[in-house]
Amino acid sequence: MPETTHTVLWTMSDRAFPRHFRNMEGFGVHTFRLIDREGTSRFVKFHWKPVAGTCSLIWDEAQKLWGRDPDFNRRMMWDDIKNGAALEWELGIQVVEEKDEHSFDFDILDPTKLIPESLVPVVPIGKMVLDRNPDNFFAETEQVAFNPANIVPGIDFSNDPLLQGRLFSYLDTQMLRLGGPNFHEIPINQPVCPFHNNQRDAQHRQTINTGQASYEPNSIDGGWPSETPPSDDAHGGFEPHHERIEAHKVRARSESFGDHYSQATLFWNSQTDVEKEHIIAAYTFELSKVERPWIRERVITEILPNIDLELARRVGENHGWPPRQPSRRPRVSWAAARWKVIQPSA
């Protein structure tokens, strides 16, 4: 799938195996919103920049480590924290004014794209320091339930379609994984501030609700529970950013999501010569494990040339395929892609 080109390229690079968690960079693929006190919305991408620098293992080294000490990364993190060498990341944000949403040659709501730091700098606003190991790994780590829908005042969601899907699916996932709707009462997931919701009973419920009503309006429990309306003070309920919408609702992907290669090329060009060699070796190796030759051919002749011709030539050479000129920016429709799989050319 051409849509995966950019992400797969990152996983074929040295970025895929950080030397240590302290050397691992992270950023959200999703664009969120920041809402200021006046209610103005701006788009935002969140970044974690490792204070210790971004350093990687070598592929062969990572493969061997996996066998020699499969817990290497976690052990190093645990030992370092135990020895007082905290892991640190700076929290940075890229902020885009709403009026500038369409001023890029890509869609900032497309999660396969990043916003190049040369266009919008990452502004540091805080720091995360990991300086204490959990007392109980299961209770405090394994049972953590991440969910992008959990936000604090000042943050709101964008129309990024993958984010919209995840707002639903993460809740579903955690309910299945943690055995019911009350996973927010597990100590590691429990809000440390007072909170209200309208949940009651079901498996693993910790709160002992009094009264009989779980609905509103009601005449038997003094009207409680009752929905908290939005308010300008700090105690109001959540409300989404006010936005006038005038658009067609269709099942289709926006044309602005159609360029699957430019940012892959950008990443390739950002790599040093040694790092490029590592990417060539990684594609060569991984494709050697692909059983269906027509899929290997398609990656080498249709995907890679659109990232970089030299990359395609080198990987093609290792697989015995002659180089081919790229069909620059092909728009492969879902139907065409499916046809290709059903009708292999080899």
Partner 1 sequence: MARLPDSIATRKVAILAANGVAVEDVNGIKKQLADEGAEGLLIAPSMAPIKALDGSMLSPDAMLNGMPSVTVDAVVVAGGEGSVKALSASGLGLYYVQEAYKHLKPILAISEGRELLAKAGIPEEEGVILVDEVLAVSLPLRDALLSHRVWDRDTRANQMPA
CB of 121 to partner 1, least distance (A): 15
Q: Does residue 11 interact with partner 1 by CB under 8 A?
A: no
Of the residues 4, 11, 40, 54, which one makes contact with partner 1 according to CB under 8 A: 54
CA distances from 114 to 92, 203, 284, 324 (A): 14, 41, 26, 29
Residues in a beta bridge with 32: 44, 157
- Amino acid type, 262: S
Give the residue among 311, 323, 225, 231 at the shortest CA–CA distance from 276: 311
CB of 56 to partner 1, least distance (A): 8
Kindly state the greatest CA–CA separation across the chain: 79
Token readout for 124 is: 């540091």
Under DSSP, the state recorded for 327 is -
Quick one: angle between helices 273-288 and 59-68, nearest 10?
A: 60
> What residues from 256 to 315 belong to the interface with partner 1 (CB under 8 A)?
272, 274-275, 277
CB of 52 to partner 1, least distance (A): 5
Of the residues 3, 7, 15, 21, which one makes contact with partner 1 according to CB under 8 A: 15
> What residues from 199 to 258 belong to the interface with partner 1 (CB under 8 A)?
none
CB of 126 to partner 1, least distance (A): 18
CB of 193 to partner 1, least distance (A): 34
Q: How many residues bind partner 1 (CB under 8 A)?
A: 27
CB of 66 to partner 1, least distance (A): 9
CB of 277 to partner 1, least distance (A): 6
Neighbours of 105 (CB within 10 A): 10
Give the residue among 33, 19, 26 at the shortest CA–CA distance from 49: 26
Is residue 120 helix, strand or coil?
coil
Residues in a beta bridge with 126: 91
Cα–Cα dist 332/336, whole Å: 6
CA torsion, ordered 63, 69, 74, 78, to nearest 10 deg:
-150
Of the residues 60, 232, 233, 255, which one makes contact with partner 1 according to CB under 8 A: 60
Q: Does residue 20 interact with partner 1 by CB under 8 A?
A: yes
Q: What x/- string results for residues 72 through 111 when contact with partner 1 is judged by CB under 8 A?
A: x-------x----x--------------------------
Q: Determine the interface stretch with partner 1 among 66-74, 103-111, 164-172, 244-252 (rule: CB under 8 A).
A: 66-74
Cα–Cα dist 79/21, whole Å: 12
Q: Does residue 25 interact with partner 1 by CB under 8 A?
A: yes
Cα–Cα dist 211/229, whole Å: 22
- Of 10 and 106, the one with the shorter C-beta distance to partner 1 is 10
Of the residues 9, 12, 19, 32, which one makes contact with partner 1 according to CB under 8 A: 19
Pairing mode, strands 87-97 and 41-50: antiparallel
Q: Determine the interface stretch with partner 1 among 34-42, 45-53, 177-185, 244-252 (rule: CB under 8 A).
A: 45-53
Of the residues 9, 12, 17, 22, which one makes contact with partner 1 according to CB under 8 A: 22
Binding residues for partner 1, rule: CB under 8 A, are 15, 19-20, 22-23, 25, 49-50, 52-55, 57-58, 60-61, 64-65, 68-69, 72, 80, 85, 272, 274-275, 277
